[in-house]
């Protein structure tokens, strides 16, 4: 493989590993917010336990996902300086907004939510997790705006050998963005719901003592999968006409064609299975019929495979362009890079992200297996010693 192919492969592997963290974050955030809202409305302690349990899994994934995002930022400077030189003024704008507005606000509100248990007023505490969700979705918006610019460089003109931003609003009405954003957000809800659904089915199949806990969690997870899968499939199909109008050769390569076939085949199969089982939520039949639980566990990983297929289709179909029709991948590569340098950074980046992915899923699996009985998030503070009993006089 030459330098260009090695750099592309490195970005593809690290990008897909990072997106696995992102898609779960986008999916779990609104589900945890819904659980916390139900706690605030009903005061039912079961919803507090559900919020803390699934919220802890969300926090684990979010914390480790931050580091994978840092690796992605390094690659732009190391391997793709040509992109920065030619289109940095445009491409960097939504990325800067994502960092300065969405990410910092999301982290701030998440910190308030994590440490606000038993300290913040009830409504303010619930507002924090909803603000975490909204800022997470804003972050996804800015990232998709940047990626859509690469797919279809709207809003910019070339001056002096560089792209210059002329219409900021056009970045957000890019035809490559309009259907792609809800498609990605729907996939996130699908992924988050699948984790809740699969974990709940696992405990119900094992006849855990926490039956009511996981029965209600299963209901939330399945409903999220139903909604998320429908949104994903619907906006997936609506993209075809828009993509064909701006990238006529998008789906003519082998990888994009295979990706489309996988998404359409596996996606529709999972959609059919879940929609057939969803009516069994009535009177909790789905929770009581154990034969359905292995089926739910088997299909739970599907959205994660599908999002990888989706990103490969979107990115490979743009080749050989990095900025479609404007800047080729070869011209965007940093001058002077050698195969040895790319191989070294490839091993380092993929090693770090691979390790983080293994740690993330190991911690999540352990948390799921332990169940809601041992959750540190939101636990009452036991550090303060009770007031000493006054000594008696004799």
Q: What pLDDT tens digit does each residue of the chain (394 aa) get?
A: 789 989 999 888 888 888 999 999 999 999 999 999 999 999 999 999 999 999 999 999 999 888 887 777 777 778 888 998 999 889 888 988 898 888 889 999 999 999 999 999 999 999 999 999 999 999 999 999 999 999 999 888 998 889 999 888 999 999 999 889 999 999 999 999 999 999 999 999 998 889 999 999 999 999 999 999 999 989 988 888 888 888 888 877 877 788 888 888 888 888 889 989 999 998 899 999 999 999 999 999 999 999 999 888 888 888 899 999 999 999 999 988 888 988 898 898 888 888 989 999 999 999 999 989 888 888 876 554 444 433 333 2
Per the domain annotation, does 386 fall within a domain? no
In a domain, 203, yes or no: yes
Q: What is the pTM of this model?
A: 0.91
Whether the bond into 178 is cis, omega within 30 of 0: no
Report residue 378: phi and psi, to 5°.
80, 5
Is 325 in a helix, a strand, or coil?
Answer: coil
| Rounded distance between C-alpha atoms, residue 364 and residue 271, angstroms | 25
Compute the distance between CA of residue 308 and CA of residue 12 in angstroms, rounded to an integer.
10
The answer to the question of residue 364 being in a domain is yes
E strands in the chain = 156-159, 162-165, 321-323, 327-328
Q: Flag whether 378 is in a domain.
A: no
Q: Is residue 50, in this structure, part of any structural domain at all?
A: yes
Q: Domain range spanning residue 17?
A: 3-373
Number of separate domains in the chain: 1
Using CA atoms, how far residue 63 sits from 69, 96, 113, 322, in Å, is: 11, 21, 14, 30
CB distance 346 to 178 below 8 Å: no
Please indicate, yes or no, if residue 105 is contained in any of the structural domains: yes
SS3 303: helix
Q: Taking a C-beta distance cutoff of 8 angstroms, is the pair 266, 320 a contact?
A: no
Of 299, 306, 298, the closest CA to residue 263 belongs to 306
Residue 382 CB coordination number (10 Å): 6
Residue 269 lies in a domain: yes
């Amino acid at each position: 493989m030459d330098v260009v192919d090695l750099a592309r492969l490195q970005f593809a592997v690290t990008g897909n590993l990072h997106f696995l963290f992102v898609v779960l974050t986008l999916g779990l955030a609104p589900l945890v917010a819904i659980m916390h809202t139900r706690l605030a409305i009903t005061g039912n302690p079961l919803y507090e336990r559900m919020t803390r349990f699934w919220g802890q899994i969300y926090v684990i994934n979010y914390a480790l996902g931050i580091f994978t995002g840092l690796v992605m930022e390094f690659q732009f400077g190391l391997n793709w300086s040509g992109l920065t030189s030619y289109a940095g003024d445009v491409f960097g704008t939504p990325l800067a907004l994502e960092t300065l507005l969405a990410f910092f606000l999301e982290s701030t509100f998440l910190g308030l939510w994590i440490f606000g248990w038993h300290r913040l007023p009830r409504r303010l505490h619930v507002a924090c997790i909803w603000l975490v969700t909204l800022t997470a979705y804003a972050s996804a918006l800015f990232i998709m705006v940047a990626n859509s610019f690469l797919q279809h460089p709207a809003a910019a003109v070339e001056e002096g050998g560089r792209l210059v931003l002329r219409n900021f609003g056009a970045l957000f009405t890019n035809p490559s963005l309009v259907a792609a954003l809800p498609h990605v957000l729907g996939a996130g809800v699908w992924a988050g719901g699948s984790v809740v659904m699969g974990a709940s089915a696992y405990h119900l199949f094992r006849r855990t003592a926490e039956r009511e806990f996981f029965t209600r969690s299963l209901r939330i997870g399945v409903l999220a999968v139903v909604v998320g899968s429908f949104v994903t499939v619907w906006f997936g199909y609506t993209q075809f006409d828009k993509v064909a109008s701006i990238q006529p050769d998008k789906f003519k390569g082998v990888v994009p064609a295979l990706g489309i076939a996988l998404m359409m085949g596996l996606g529709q199969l999972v959609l059919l299975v879940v929609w057939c089982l969803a009516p069994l939520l009535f009177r909790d039949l789905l929770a009581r019929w154990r034969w359905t639980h292995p089926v739910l566990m088997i299909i739970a990983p599907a959205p994660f495979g599908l999002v990888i297929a989706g990103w490969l289709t979107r990115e490979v179909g743009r080749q050989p362009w990095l900025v479609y029709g404007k800047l080729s991948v070869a011209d965007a590569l940093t001058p002077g890079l050698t195969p040895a340098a790319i191989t070294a950074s490839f091993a380092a980046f993929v090693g770090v992200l691979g390790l983080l992915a293994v740690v993330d899923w190991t911690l999540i699996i352990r948390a799921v297996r332990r169940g809601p009985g041992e959750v540190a998030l939101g636990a009452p503070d036991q550090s303060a010693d009770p007031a000493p009993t006054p000594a008696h006089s004799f």
